[in-house]
Structure 1
Amino acid sequence: MVDVEQFNPRNEAALRAWWEVGHAATSYRPGKPWPLWEQSRVALPAHNPERGITLIGAIDGREMVGAGLLIRPLKENLHTATAFAYVRPDRTREGIGRRLATELEVVAGGDGRTTLQSEAYLPPDGSGGASEAFAAAMGYAVASRESIKELTLADYVARRNDLAASAPVPDGYRIVTFDTVCPDEHLDSYGRLLGMLLDEVPLGDLDLTDSEWDGARIREAEQRLTEIGRHMHTALAIAPDGSVAGVSDVRIDDDDPAYGQVGITLVDPAHRGHRLGLVLKLATHDVAVATYPSLVSVDTSNAEVNTWMNAVNEALGYRTIETLLELQKRL
C-alpha cells in the first residue's frame, strides 16, 4: 500500500528522499533538468515572499517512490497554482503519478485555486512522450509550446566578438550591470519594466495576468536570492532620458557555478528596433563568463512563436535540446 503524505521541507531526511525521486525521474532528460541537492536543501525550506510551496511524497513502507510539488503565487494570479508529479523510474505504471496529481489538485482547490498549470517535456522535434500522454489523461490541455535551449560556453566564446561588433550599444543608450541588487537610481524604472513582462511575452492560452513591482517588492525578492546564494547577474539598458529601456539576466547559484539559466529578457516596446535584446544578452553572458571560470553552459526557454527572441538566442549559439509544453487545467 502506497500512502501519499505532505511533509515539511525543513525535514531534511524527507526532503532528501523527495529530491532523490525527482532526480531519478528526470535523469533521462538532457541539459540540467534537476537542481543539485545543495540547491534544493537551501532553497526549498527558505522563506519565499513570492511563492508558497507544498511538498508531498508517495511512501511505500519506508521508501519514497513518488514526489509532488505545488507552487502557489502569493502576490498575483491567486487563482492559479503549478503542479509537478514525479515517480521513481522503477515504480511507474502503478498509478502513483495519478495519485500524486490528484492530491495536488485537492491541495490547490483547498487554497481557492481554480486553474492548475504544469509542464511536459518532449524531444526537440516535439514528438509525443509519456509525460504528454499522462497530462492529457489527467485533463490538462496544451496552452503554449516553448523551446528549451542550451548554450555551451565554447560556442559563445567563438561567436562573441563578431556578435558584439555587429550589435554595438546604440547611440544615446548605456548598459548598467549589477549582481542581484538593483542600484537605487534605477529601482523604480526597473520595477515599471518588470510589471510589463506578462503583457509582452507570448503566453498562448495560459491564464495569467500582469504584476506590479514596486521598490519594496524588488528588495524583498533580492534579499531572498542573496540568502539562498543565487546570483541574478542583470544588465539594464538605460535610455537617453534615464529610464530603463530593457533588461536581461543570467542566474547562477553558489552551489552550482558550472550552470546558468537566463531569467528574463525584455525590451520596452518604445525602445525596440535597436537590437537591445542582443546587446543586453551579450552583457550578461560576458559577466557570467568573467565571473565563473567553471561555467559550462547556460540554458533558456522561449515560446516557439517568439521568432525575434529565438533568432537572438540562435545567434548567440543556443541550440534546442527539448520541447516544453505549458499545460493548463480548470478545476
Structure 2
Amino acid sequence: MVDIEQINPRNEAALRAWWEVGRAATADRPGKPWPLWEQSRVALPADNPERGVTLVGAIDGREMVGAGLLTRTLKENLHTAMAFAFVRPDRTREGIGRRLVEELEVVAVGDGRPTVQSEAYLPPGGSGAAEHFARAMGYDVASRESIKELTLTDFVERRDALAARAPVPEGYRIITFDTVCPEEHLASFGRLLGMLMSEVPLGDLDLEASEWSAERIRAAEQRQVDTGRHVQTAMAIAPDGSVAGVSDVRVDDSDPVHGQVGITIVDPAHRGRRLGLALKVATHDLAVATYPDLVSVDTSNAEVNTWMNAVNDALGYRTIETLLELQKKL
C-alpha cells in the first residue's frame, strides 16, 4: 500500500530520500535536469518570503517511490501554483504519479490557487510519456519552449566574431557585477524587472506582471548570497543613465562546472541596437573568467521568441529538449 505524505524539508534524511527519487526519475534526460544534493539540501529548507514550497512523498513501506513538489509565488500571481511529480523508474505505471498530482492539486486548492501549472520535457520535436500523462491529468499545453545547452569551448571559439557583430552602441556602456546591483542603478533595474512578464512570450500562461522595489531586489540578492548562488550580471546603461537591458548567468558554489541563464531583457525603447547579443557576450565572458572549470550553460526560450533564439544560436547554444509549459484550471 502506497501512502502519500507531506515531507518536512528540514528532515535531512527524508529530504535526501525525496531528492534521490527525483534524481532517478530524471536520469535519462540530457543536460543537467536535477540539482545536486548540496543545492537542494540548502535551498529547499531555506526561508523564502517570495516562494512557498510543499514536498510530498509516495511511501511504500519504508521506501520512497515517488516525489512531488508544489511551489507558490507569494508576492504576485497568488492564483497560481507550480506542480511537479516524479516516480522512481522501477515503479512507473502503478498510478503513483496520478496520486501525487492529485495530492498537490488538493494542496493548491486549499491555498486558494485555482490555476496549476507544470512542465513536461520531450526530445526535440518529439513526444513522450510525460506529455501523455499531463494530458490525461487534464493539463493543456500553454506554451512551447526550447531547452538549449552551450558548451563553453564552443563559445570561446566564437567569442571574438560575436563581439565584432555586436559592439556596444555609441553612448551606451555595459557594466558587470556579481549578484549585487550597484546602488545608483537599483531603481531603474527594478523598473526593467517589472517589464519581464509583459515582454517575455507567455503563450496562454495565466501570469501577471510584478513590481520590484529596491528593498525586494536587495532581499532577493541576499538570498542568493546566503545559498551560494552567484548571479553574474551584465547591465546596459543608456546615454541618459537608465538601465536599458540586463542579462545574467547563474552559477552555484556547489556546482561550478554548470551555469544557467536567468533573465535577458532589453527595454523596448532601446531595441534594434543588438544590445541583447552584446549583453550575452558580456555575461558569458564574465562567467568564463570567474569560473575556469565551467563546462556548460543552459537556457530556455519560447519557440516563438525568434529574436532570442537567434541570439542563442549565434552564441553556440543547441537544443537538447522541448519544454511544454502546462496549465490546468481546477
Alignment partner, residue 23 of structure 1: 23
What CA RMSD, in Å, does the superposition of the two structures yield over aligned residues?
0.4
Residue 32 of structure 2 is matched in structure 1 by: 32
Aligned residue number for residue 276 of structure 1: 275
Instruction: Indicate the residue corresponding to 1:93 in structure 2.
Output: 93
Q: Find the counterpart in structure 2 of residue 62 from structure 1.
A: 62
1:257 aligns to 2:265 (yes or no): no
Q: Quote the residue 2:266 is aligned against.
A: 267
AA partner of residue 49 (structure 1): P
Quote the residue 1:123 is aligned against: 123
- 1:35-60, Cα deviation, whole Å (9 max, x unpaired): 00000000100111211100000000
1:157, 1:271 → 2: CA distance? 27
Query: 1:248 Cα deviation (Å)?
Result: 0.3
Shift of 1:23: 0.1
The residue aligned with 1:190 is 189
In structure 2, how many angstroms separate the alpha carbons of the residues matched to 1:325 and 1:7? Answer: 27
Distance in structure 1 (CA, Å) of the matches to 2:261 and 2:45:
23
Deviation at 1:217, TM superposition (A): 0.3
Alignment of 1:72-221 (within 5 A): 72-125=72-125, 127-221=126-220
- Name the aligned partner's letter for residue 322 of structure 1: E
**1:227 corresponds to:** 226
* C-alpha distance in 1 between matches for 2:61 and 2:252: 35
Query: Which residue type is aligned with residue 196 of structure 1?
Result: M
Alignment length, in residue pairs? 330
The letter for the 1-side match of 2:264 is T
Deviations 1:73-116, CA, capped at 9 Å, x for gaps: 00000000000000000000000000000000000000000100
So what's the TM-score if we normalise by structure 1? Answer: 0.99
Q: How does 1:289-300 map to 2 (within 5 A)?
A: 289-300=288-299
Aligned partners of 1:49 and 1:221 also within 8 Å: no
The answer to whether 1:41 aligns with 2:58 is no
Cα offset, 1:156, TM superposition = 0.3
Matched residues in 2 for 1:65 and 1:165: separation?
A: 52
- Cα separation, 2, equivalents of 1:9 and 1:146: 30
Q: Aligned partners of 1:283 and 1:154: how far apart in 2?
A: 16
Counterpart AA for 1:102: E
Q: Cα distance, 1:7 vs. partner?
A: 1.6
C-alpha distance in structure 1 between counterparts of 2:44 and 2:179, whole Å: 19
Q: Which runs of 5+ in 2 are unaligned?
A: none
- 1: CA distance, partners of 2:314 / 2:204: 28
Contact 1:231 1:253 in 2 (8 A): yes
Aligned residue type for 1:251: R
**Taking every aligned residue pair, what percent have the same amino acid on both sides?**
81
Deviation (angstroms), 1:170: 0.5
**Partners of 1:6 and 1:286 in 2: CA distance:** 43
| Contact 1:49/1:220, CA 8 A, preserved across alignment | no
Aligned amino acid, residue 292 of structure 1 = Y
| Other structure's SS at 1:193 match | helix
Give unpaired runs (5+ residues) of structure 1.
none
Counterpart of 1:280, as a letter, is: L
Q: How far apart are the structure 2 equivalents of 1:8 and 1:232? A: 28
Q: C-alpha separation between the residues in 2 aligned to 1:128 and 1:245? A: 39
SS state at 1:160 partner: helix
Q: Are residue 328 (structure 1) and residue 306 (structure 2) matched?
A: no
1:16 CA displacement: 0.2
Tell me the distance in 2 between the aligned counterparts of 1:53 and 1:10.
12
Q: Displacement, 1:165? A: 1.1
Q: Report what 2:6 is aligned to.
A: 6
CA distance in 2, matches of 1:48, 1:224: 8
Matches of 1:242 and 1:118 in 2, distance apart?
39
Supply the AA of the counterpart residue of 2:244.
A
CA distance in 1 between partners of 2:244 and 2:142 (Å): 29
Paired residues of 1:47 and 1:224 also in contact (CA < 8 A): no
Deviations 1:219-242 (A, max 9, x none): 110111100000111111000000
Structure 2 counterpart of 1:31, one-letter code: G
CA distance in 1, matches of 2:124, 2:46: 34
